[in-house]
């Protein structure tokens, strides 16, 4: 996760080179000439609206452009981070914050001053969502914002609210993005299964030893990655179990299978444990005889 102090955020907002940073980031992110040509073909409607608008209207039209461009920079930062390019990733994050704050500020202003035009600008932008980054328009919007800010026409209180909102949102997304691949759950949004496993183990440990029935007691619980491991002690030894199996005409293999099925049924009958397993986690039972020798170590990795 990353964070910025108040002074750092103000310094970013006062950065006169934002437009240049923006152009460099877009060149890195969208290197393909085909994509750039597609952008030029599809961005006409919103760029034409911008070109013919008065200054106050231009600011409103810029809101979705800057919000979306900031999102693209944030995505680029995440990809760079995944590749281990920490320095470049941080540069992209700062650029994303810079651009997103301007876009969010204009969004908040537009909602009050000209909501109809703002909605129209978002619609024009949505029409081109798969192609649009509008690099040149972004630079123009940033320059216009900076000019208006220097002239005192951007309300400081609104900008400060935008800074805090964008910072919180980016921090939350960064936290999600920082989940180790080996701990990431299935589905969206992803959750950290390793954190869930540790939390479950910590809570369950407070209740141990836990006697499940007259023959079975849970004595320890631990987390290993996205697996919850419970040690369960049986009230008898192997000799006793084998004698029971023999008296019933059952093989030890069938007894073992029945024990594993019981473990799975027990896990999958609990809504919290089932949700954990369905998300990609697993629960392992380490069965021990009363003399401490190992019996079975079944793993429940699905409830299907």
Contact in structure between 76 and 91 (CB atoms under 8 Å): no
CATH number of 193-300: 3.30.300.250
Residue for token digits 């954990």? 276
Rg of the chain's alpha carbons, rounded to an integer? 29
Give which of 35, 67, 80, 88 is closest to 137, Cα–Cα.
67
Q: Strand 210-213 and strand 227-234: pairing?
A: unpaired
**Residue ranges of domains in the chain:** 6-177, 193-300
Coil, helix or strand for 105? Answer: helix
What does the angle CA 188 – CA 168 – CA 202 come to, to the nearest 5 degrees?
A: 60
Per-position pLDDT tens, the chain of length 304: 334 444 444 444 554 444 444 444 333 333 333 333 333 433 457 888 888 999 999 999 999 999 988 888 888 887 776 566 778 888 998 999 999 999 999 999 999 999 999 999 888 876 544 444 467 788 999 999 999 999 999 999 999 999 999 998 888 777 655 678 888 888 766 788 998 899 889 888 989 999 999 999 999 999 999 999 999 999 999 999 999 999 999 999 999 999 999 999 999 999 889 999 999 999 999 999 999 999 999 999 999 8
Cis peptide bond prior to 209, omega within 30° of 0 = yes
Coil, helix or strand for 227? Answer: strand
Coil, helix or strand for 220? Answer: strand
pTM over 0.75: no
Give which of 198, 218, 216 is closest to 207, Cα–Cα.
218
CA distance 153 to 257: 74
């Amino acid at each position: 996760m990353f964070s910025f102090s108040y002074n750092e955020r103000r310094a970013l907002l006062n950065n006169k080179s934002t437009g240049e940073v923006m152009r460099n980031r877009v060149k890195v992110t969208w290197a393909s000439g085909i994509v750039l040509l597609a952008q030029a073909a599809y961005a006409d409607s919103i760029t034409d609206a911008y070109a013919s608008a008065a200054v106050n209207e231009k600011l409103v039209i810029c809101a979705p452009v800057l919000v979306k461009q900031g999102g693209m920079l944030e995505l680029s930062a995440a990809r760079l981070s995944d590749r281990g390019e920490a320095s470049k990733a941080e540069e992209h994050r700062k650029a994303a914050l810079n651009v997103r704050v301007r876009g969010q500020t204009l969004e908040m202003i537009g909602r009050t001053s000209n909501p109809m035009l703002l909605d129209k600008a978002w619609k024009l932008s949505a029409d081109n969502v798969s192609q649009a980054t509008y690099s040149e328009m972004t630079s123009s919007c940033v320059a216009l914002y900076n000019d208006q800010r220097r002239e005192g026409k951007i309300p400081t209180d609104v900008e400060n609210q935008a800074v805090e909102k964008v910072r919180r949102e980016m921090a939350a997304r960064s936290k999600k993005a920082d989940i180790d691949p080996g701990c990431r759950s299935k589905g969206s949004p992803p959750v950290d299964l390793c954190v869930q496993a540790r939390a479950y183990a910590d809570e369950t440990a407070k209740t141990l030893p836990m006697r499940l029935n007259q023959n079975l007691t849970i004595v320890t619980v631990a987390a290993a990655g996205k697996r919850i491991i419970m040690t369960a002690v049986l009230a008898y030894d192997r000799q006793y179990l084998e004698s029971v199996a023999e008296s019933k005409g059952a093989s030890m293999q069938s007894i073992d299978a029945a024990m594993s099925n019981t473990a799975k049924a027990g896990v999958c009958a609990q809504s919290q444990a089932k949700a954990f397993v369905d998300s990609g986690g697993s629960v392992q039972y380490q069965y021990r005889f009363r003399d401490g020798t190992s019996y079975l170590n079944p793993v429940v990795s699905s409830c299907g």
